[in-house]
Structure 1
Amino acid sequence: MKLFYAPGACSLSPHIVACEAGIDLQLCKVNLKTKELETGGDYTEVNPKGYVPALQLEGGELLTEGPAIVQFLAEQKPEQKLAPEYGSLDHYRVLEWLNFISTEIHKTFGPLFWGGSDEEKSAAKEKLAKRFQYVEDNMAGDYLMGSDFCIADAYLFTVYNWCSKADVDTDSWPGLKAFAERMRQREGVQKALKAEGLN
């Protein structure tokens, strides 16, 4: 399988999940500004959406959208227990977190990275503060779902790391800071960060 990624972008989440699962991926870097592949060629010919991540499967099919990709990867290695059993309430709780991170946190960073006005940036930071505070208040333990890592943790770690680049103050979230440090100690996370040149 081949993962189309940009260093530190939301594609880091499935990259971490693959490393945690012990799944070897071929990596292909994408320049998100020019939509060019590091190997040459136009990324939009691979993924017309033009953003990462995208996962090219062995049969040539393309799977896009990070929450779908991490679920797919977890199901390739169920023995690693990176996602709760399908049909359980915890399974839907993980989907709930993935959707919250995607729609309420990830997308809110847009104006901070892509030339928003001062007013848009200020509004985005205010919304992010509320959303991250919600996460801070509702983590079930060392990780989102309790004492064990799950696929939603990879996504949370990825977007939380954007705070420093976007000048979002994290001092009010000691739990999230501890979570991020805990994540950085994980072998799979270290492997993904190293492969993307981020540590």
Structure 2
Amino acid sequence: MDLFFAPMSCSLATRIALYESGQDADFHRVALADKTVEDGRDYWTINPKGQVPALITDDGIVITEGPAVLQYVADRAPETRLAPAAGTTARYELQTWLNYISSEIHKYIYFTIFNPESPEEARRYAREVAAPKRYEFLARHLAGRDFLVGEDFTVADAYLTVTLNWAQPGGIDLSRWPALTDYHRRMAARPAVARAISEEAKLREAS
């Protein structure tokens, strides 16, 4: 498999899933500013959406969109329980969380905050109104739970952990929600998660 990524972006969740499941992949860094791959290829020719992650399977199929990529990786290693079995109610619960994180946290809050073209009023609303509402909901769900879905770490936890990494640089103080800070601390301490974050943080710092 080939994973196209940008350091510390949402594609970090796929790296985490690969490390958690012990699967091998070749990693290709993408410069999102000009949509080029580190080997000089035009990233638009790989993913016409111009976004990460993109995963090329061993069969040469290109999969895009984080929730789809994460489920593909999880389904290749069902014994790791990174996703409940397809067709189960637990799987639909996983998909619910992946969609929620993608639309309500990743895109609605952080795309707005970090997008230089966002009006300051929109950024302030995302930071001061939208984020607290969504984090209060997440904190209630996580109170007394180890993971988002069931009793196992899943790709939804990988994705949520990545977005929680963005809170501080986005100007959001997670300490208002102790259940979230505890969850984030526990997830970040997992060996595979810590390894993935450390590697990508170093790549970003070096750029």
TM-score scaled to structure 2, two decimals?
0.91
Selected match of 2:169 from 165, 176, 185: 165
The equivalent residue for 1:18 is: 18
The equivalent residue for 1:174 is: 178
Alignment-mate amino acid for residue 121 of structure 1: R
Structure 2 residues not aligned, in runs of 5+: none
- Cα deviation for residue 59 of structure 1 reads 1.9
Alignment-mate amino acid for residue 196 of structure 1: E
Whether the 8 Å contact between 1:5 and 1:11 is mirrored in structure 2 is yes
- Cα deviation for residue 84 of structure 1 reads 1.1
- Cα deviation for residue 198 of structure 1 reads 4.7
The equivalent residue for 1:197 is: 201
- Cα deviation for residue 55 of structure 1 reads 0.3
Query: In structure 2, what is the Cα distance between the partners aligned to 1:197 and 1:113?
Result: 17
Query: In structure 1, what is the Cα distance between the partners aligned to 2:72 and 2:82?
Result: 11
Percent identity between matched residues is 39
The equivalent residue for 2:60 is: 60
Structure 1 residues not aligned, in runs of 5+: none
Alignment-mate amino acid for residue 134 of structure 1: F
Task: Give the number of equivalent residue pairs.
Answer: 199
Choose 188-197 or 102-111, whichever is displaced more.
188-197
The equivalent residue for 2:114 is: 113
Query: In structure 2, what is the Cα distance between the partners aligned to 1:120 and 1:133?
Result: 20
The Cα RMSD (Å) is 1.4
Alignment of 1:79 with 2:79, yes or no, is yes
Alignment-mate amino acid for residue 122 of structure 2: E
Alignment of 1:44 with 2:41, yes or no, is no
Query: In structure 1, what is the Cα distance between the partners aligned to 2:162 and 2:104?
Result: 14
Query: In structure 2, what is the Cα distance between the partners aligned to 1:25 and 1:165?
Result: 29
Selected match of 1:132 from 135, 138, 141: 135
Query: In structure 1, what is the Cα distance between the partners aligned to 2:33 and 2:137?
Result: 32
Choose 137-146 or 112-121, whichever is displaced more.
137-146
**Residue deviations 1:42-87, cap 9 Å, x none?**
1111111001000011122100011011111111011111111222
